[in-house]
Amino acid sequence: MKQWVTRKLACLLAGRGCGSSSWRFSFPFACVFQGQQPSGTFCDTPDVRRRKKLLVLSCAAIVVASLATFFALDRQPYCDGHSLGYWVDLYEKRNDPHAAEAIVHIGTNSFSTVIRWLKSTDPTYKQRLSGLWYNIPVTVRPAWVERWVLAQPAEDDYRRATCVLALLGEKADSIQPQLLKLTYSHSGEVVRRALFVLRSWAPKVLPQLVQVACDPTHPCRPEILAEIDTMVIFIEPRELNLLFSLTTDTDEEVKTGAAYAIAKWCVWQPPSVSEGIATTNQAVQEALKEFPALTGPLDTN
């Protein structure tokens, strides 16, 4: 009985019939069950090698699928049995005070989810498709397809992230370093979102932005300088000196952006200060020509 069961199992693994006594095994496990060595002419056949490859590929596919499933799982923090995203959506729909309390209770544990939301982007093919969608006749545009094409999950995630940070208030101050790191992204949309969120901490975040703009490895220095320009009137002398160092940068966009920010700062200063700075830097002199309407009234006071 034991030999019969062993033989049947070996046949199943080999994928062969067992009606004849002259059957041969084509799977290495079958050799093991019969007390044979997997090597040699008995089991080392092309069919066995093919089955080995299929087994390895199948195991690899299972591992990859398991990892993909693991990383796709909802890793949001929870409160009262509901995820952060649930509470944010509830707050936005109903302005529910209990939802706001839940978000505040989650607190800094929400930062990893907020950063992931800010980094979320829609696929390029979908962006192109949404741009071409209205060129398709209405009669051949199914409603369910239109909802999928026009949906913008990345923008929804961005809205949720800003809602969380607004509700946390001062508790969200510690996320600033992560947002500054996010500006190093090669995605212009992600950089724009990070800078827009950082703007809510103006002018306290200005020194950090100037330091980032001075980093020659930063991929988006012109965008950083454009953001600095929106709060440059609050700049301190130390940061102003760093901006002056950028007016000699090899990157023309960086050089122009720094000069423009300094010129904008000058128009808010007394004439004696602005004229003294302008005469020491040719790039700033050129940038000041963009502010004739502002420099005129300041010079007369």
**pLDDT (tens digit, 9 = 90+) per residue, 160-195?**
999 999 999 999 999 999 999 999 998 889 999 999
The pLDDT profile of the chain, 301 residues, written as one tens digit per residue, is: 656 555 555 555 554 444 444 444 444 444 544 444 444 444 556 776 777 677 777 777 777 665 655 444 558 899 999 999 999 999 999 899 999 999 999 999 999 999 999 999 877 777 677 777 777 787 777 887 777 777 778 889 999 999 999 999 999 999 999 999 999 998 889 999 999 999 999 889 999 999 999 999 999 999 999 999 889 888 888 888 899 899 889 999 999 999 888 888 888 877 777 667 766 777 777 777 776 544 444 443 4
| Structural domains in the chain (count) | 3
**Environment class of 34 (CB within 10 Å of its CB; exposed 0-12, middle 13-18, buried 19+):** middle
Q: Are residues 80 and 126 in the same domain?
A: yes
Look up the domain containing 259 and give its range.
203-301
- Asked whether the beta carbons of 186 and 219 are under 8 A apart, the reply is yes
User: 221-274: per-residue pLDDT in tens?
Assistant: 999 999 998 898 888 888 888 998 998 899 999 999 998 888 888 888 777 776
Q: Which residues of 51-87 are buried (b: 16+ CB within 10 A; e: fewer)?
A: beeeeeeeeeeeeeeeeeeeeeeeebbebeeebbbbb
Question: Are 183 and 101 members of one domain?
Answer: yes
User: Where does 183-236 have alpha helices with state H?
Assistant: 188-198, 206-213, 221-229
The sign of the dihedral angle between the CA atoms of 59, 65, 71, 74 is negative
Residues 115 and 180 reside in one and the same domain: yes
Q: Which of 46, 71, 96 is the last residue of a domain?
A: 71
Which segments within the chain are labelled E, that is strand?
78-79, 82-83
Q: List the structure tokens of 218.
A: 């930063």
Which of these three, 44, 71, 98, is where a domain ends? 71
Single-letter amino acid, residue 293? A
